[in-house]
Amino acid sequence: MRKPYFRIQEGVPQPLRCTVERVVRFEEVDALGIVWHGRYPSYFEDGRVLLGEKYGLGYMDFYHQGVVTPIKQMHIDYNLPLRFGDPFTIEAILHWTDATRLNHEFILRNAAGEITTTGYSVQLLMDQQQNVLVVAPPFFEDFRQRWQAGDLS
């Protein structure tokens, strides 16, 4: 069992999840025919984008509220290679935090269901002048209240 990337807290809502299905494209592999390590952040992005669209937390949702969400941290653990033509899934998981940030975890699985890659990213919430927001903007606080109440599906 692997160690969780984010501390599990009692009394907080369950993480939000979504899964993207993909197939490794030729442009994503190196000369050995395996996915080049630098492609994994874009796989994480595929999951982050779908999760954001599903729950109303996409980049444009933030942008229209005057908020930008740059990545502060990213970590990747490589377990098994993916190869050209391999089908795989990207599970994106948004973990609850009381901080004004987004904690995403990612799990990639091959067609056999084996975990090939895991990782996480942390995004800050900033205003358009690049000041870190320490208080959640109203639309984000509303989202967190709906999440806490179990009103997100």
Query: Over 80: is that where the pLDDT of 2 sits?
Result: no
Amino acid of residue 57: L
Q: Which residues pair with 128 in a beta bridge?
A: none
Six token digits for residue 82: 């993916």
- Does residue 58 form part of some domain? yes
H helix runs in 21-94, sequence order: 40-55, 59-63
Q: 31 is in which domain, residue-wise?
A: 16-148
CA 96, 97, 100, 103 torsion-angle sign: negative
- Does residue 104 form part of some domain? yes
Determine the pLDDT at residue 143. 96
**To the nearest whole number, what is the mean pLDDT of the chain?**
95
Max CA-CA distance within the chain?
50
- Does residue 2 form part of some domain? no
- Residue range 74-84: mean pLDDT, rounded: 97
Six token digits for residue 107: 């799990």
pTM here is 0.94
What is the residue whose two structure tokens read 């999951």?
47
- Does residue 1 form part of some domain? no
- Does residue 5 form part of some domain? no
- Does residue 8 form part of some domain? no
Q: Which residues pair with 122 in a beta bridge?
A: 73, 103
For residue range 143-152, list pLDDT tens digits in order: 999 999 999 8
- Does residue 59 form part of some domain? yes
- Does residue 133 form part of some domain? yes
